[in-house]
Amino acid sequence: MRSCEGTGRTIEQAIQNALFDLKASRDDVDIKILSEGGFLKKAKVLVTISEDALPKYEKIEALKKEEKKEEVKEEKEDNFVETFITKKIELTESDNNVKIVADEEYVVPIKEEKIVDAEKLLNEILTALNLTAQISKEEDEKFIRYKLTGENLNDLIGHHGECMFALSSYLSAVCKNEKHKKVVLDIEDYRTKRAETLTSLAKKVASKVAKSGRYYKFEPMDASERKIIHTALQNDDRVTTMSKGEEPRRYLIVFPREYKEN
């Protein structure tokens, strides 16, 4: 998708909504105002990825398509094995006991799961995008975290981290490891900085909501970012939080505690 129309109460909100749908950085797009809005009328804009930035987004889109092809392939293989086994196994009753009878000739060999090296794949992606970065690796009980540091990586992070989150999901989906741990990507410590920003913002919003008695609705954001706000406010007796909507437009609302309970 090279262009997208966005609407909102203001022109700025319409632009942000269109950028979210495009998953593009503001520096990489051309913006055309279709309607400035007004009383009972929303602002409307047309946001188009600029020609000089288009190759970068085409490469990212190509990576996503490869991921989908891999998922479809795995699903077909799983369905084949399931159908095959169902046809070759039959149930018989003997002395009121149910026995499963299978001909050994039709035993299906277990396919070994291919190990994909995440660091190698990251290097290939960086090379394809003409970027240079240092890759470091950290591992704990649940996650394998890869951190990128270098110059000119802002576009790889994207608006509010959207490109980075998409790439992180791609790596986690295709990079299998022996310990079955989830792969997580961070670029220039974006996750840490973003967590600090969101935590500070959450506390300011909580004070505003408690003082005004009115709820506050955040823009749609990634599940990990919603969790940061939930965690930041979970012990705040003045407010409570709730996520609503469907991905990728799922958003978070902060309520005065009395407002929600009533």
DSSP line for 167-196:
HHHHHHHH---TT-PEEEEEETTHHHHHHH
The whole-angstrom separation of Cα 203 and Cα 181 is 33
Alpha carbon 79 to its chain's center: 27
Domains in the chain: ranges and CATH: 3-52 (3.30.30), 56-188 (3.30.300.20), 198-261 (3.30.1370.50)
Give the tens place of pLDDT for each residue, 13-70. Answer: 888 888 888 778 888 888 888 888 776 688 888 988 888 878 877 877 777 777 666 6
Check residue 103 and give its pLDDT. 44
Residue 112: the pLDDT is 52
Distance of CA 144 to the CA centre of its chain: 17
User: What pLDDT is attached to residue 92?
Assistant: 45
Q: What distance in Å separates the CA atoms of residue 209 and residue 202, rounded to the nearest whole number? A: 10
User: What does DSSP say about strands 89-94 and 97-102: parallel, antiparallel, or unpaired?
Assistant: antiparallel
| Six token digits for residue 183 | 């792969």
What is the pTM for the complete model shown? Answer: 0.50
Neighbours of 199 (CB within 10 A): 14
Helices (H), 44-117: 54-88
Q: Do 6 and 14 touch, CB atoms closer than 8 A? A: yes
Pairing of strands 182-187, 143-149: parallel
| pLDDT for position 210 | 92
**C-alpha to C-alpha distance for 171 and 185, rounded to whole angstroms:** 8
162 alpha-carbon distance from chain centroid: 7
Give pLDDT, residue 100: 42
* Strand runs labelled E in 95-245: 97-102, 134-139, 143-149, 182-187, 216-217, 239-244
Rg (CA), the chain: 24
Q: d(Cα 235, Cα 254) in Å, to the nearest integer?
A: 13
pLDDT along the chain (262 residues), means of 10: 82 84 82 80 86 80 72 54 43 43 44 72 90 92 91 88 88 79 92 93 94 91 89 93 87 82 42
**Residue owning tokens 């505690």:** 257
